Amino acid sequence: MSWLETSIMARKGVAGGKALSSHAITEATQGTYHYVYGPFAKPVLTVEPGAVVSAETHDAFEGKIRHETDSPSKILNFPYLNPQNGPIYVNGAQKGDALAVYIENIEPRGPQPRGTTVVMPEFGGLVSTDHTAMLQAPLPEVVKKLHITKEEGTRWSDKITLPYEPFIGTIGTSPEIEAISSLQPDYYGGNMDLPDVGTGAVVYLPVNTEGALLYLGDCHAAQGDGELCGVAIEHPTVTTVRIDLIKGWTLKWPRLETADVIMSIGSARPLEDAARIAYRDLIRWMAADYGFTEMDAYMLLTQAGRMRLGNMVDPKYTMGASIRKTFLV
């Protein structure tokens, strides 16, 4: 028996966490990709809970950076970055519910070298940006094109190969009245760039508007904690997710479940606020669903909590606070 059968998704989902129907979003059926998370785009697909959806995702640059001699600052046209599949309308989803998204599979696609990472001016964790504004001259632009396969991973150099550890960099639901850049992570998900959002995990997302309007894209073949230079191993994929709906589970921030842990995810600046959001949400979750008082949960997390740094480069920074299920007794 898979752990999934005992997951929150299985226990509370309208579809019991089961795969009940199958759908595909190809580049052709997607047509226009989206650069904002919002309620103004027409759904590309409408599904029932239990739907399995395979989506052809673009890389974060929409495939425009093809050669190591390309200049990202000339080719890229802000704010038309980080193209997203969707939105997927989930029947029955209403404000105050939660969407459960089980990540079944991520497969690289497209001609080699499929992978791209770059260093761009005014973007990254160790350089001046439009918000952490400085007067120094920017670093030079660098483009690295990379050969990726599921089996072998990413050929970083003659000596270094990075294992294929794919995850969804950007996934979330629509805000209720806002339409926010797909470069930003926030309470509805978005560009969290958190490696835990990988194959085998279930992400729980707040539903803010009718139909939930799920978007996803920006898959990474590998990424270190913090996505330091701002750009992971970006690559186009076929990403397959199973979508269920949990009625009346009202989330303030995204949550995540694996076989071993539950996690709350916060996004904010400064970074300690992302950590505070994540830990407080986890405390409240432990209090609401696992029999802890807030004080007990606070003290136990002090001794046994884990914190993962997602990104320290996006408009908000992201951290995931988790605790092992074995402590939830």
**For residues 102 and 317, which CB has a smaller minimum distance to a second copy in the complex?**
317
Q: What is the DSSP letter of 213?
A: -
| CB proximity list for 159: less than 8 A, separation 6 or greater | none
Contact track, a second copy, 5-44, x by CB under 8 A: ------------------------------xx-x-x----
The answer to the question of residue 1 lying near a second copy (CB under 8 A) is: no
Of 243, 178, 245, 247, which Cα lies nearest the Cα of 216? 243
Binding residues with a second copy: total (CB under 8 A): 83
Task: Give the number of other Cβ atoms within 10 Å of residue 304's Cβ.
Answer: 12
Extended strands (E) in 20-141: 21-25, 36-37, 45-47, 51-57, 85-90, 98-108, 115-119
Min dist. Cβ of residue 182 to a second copy (A): 10
**For residues 2 and 80, which CB has a smaller minimum distance to a second copy in the complex?**
80
Contact track, a second copy, 168-207, x by CB under 8 A: -------xxxxxxx-----x--------------------
The answer to the question of residue 294 lying near a second copy (CB under 8 A) is: yes
Q: Residue 118 in contact with residue 127, Cβ under 8 Å?
A: no
Q: Please, what's the b/e burial string for 76-85 (b: 16 or more CB within 10 A of its CB; e: otherwise)?
A: beeeebbbbb
The answer to the question of residue 228 lying near a second copy (CB under 8 A) is: yes
Range 85-144, binding a second copy (CB under 8 A): 117, 119, 124-128, 130-140, 142, 144
The answer to the question of residue 84 lying near a second copy (CB under 8 A) is: no
Strands 185-186 and 189-190: antiparallel
d(CA 60, CA 33): 11
Min dist. Cβ of residue 251 to a second copy (A): 13
The answer to the question of residue 159 lying near a second copy (CB under 8 A) is: yes
d(CA 41, CA 82): 16
Range 238-277, binding a second copy (CB under 8 A): 252, 266, 268-273, 275-277
The answer to the question of residue 320 lying near a second copy (CB under 8 A) is: no
Q: Which of 24, 259, 288, 299 binds a second copy (CB under 8 A)?
A: 299
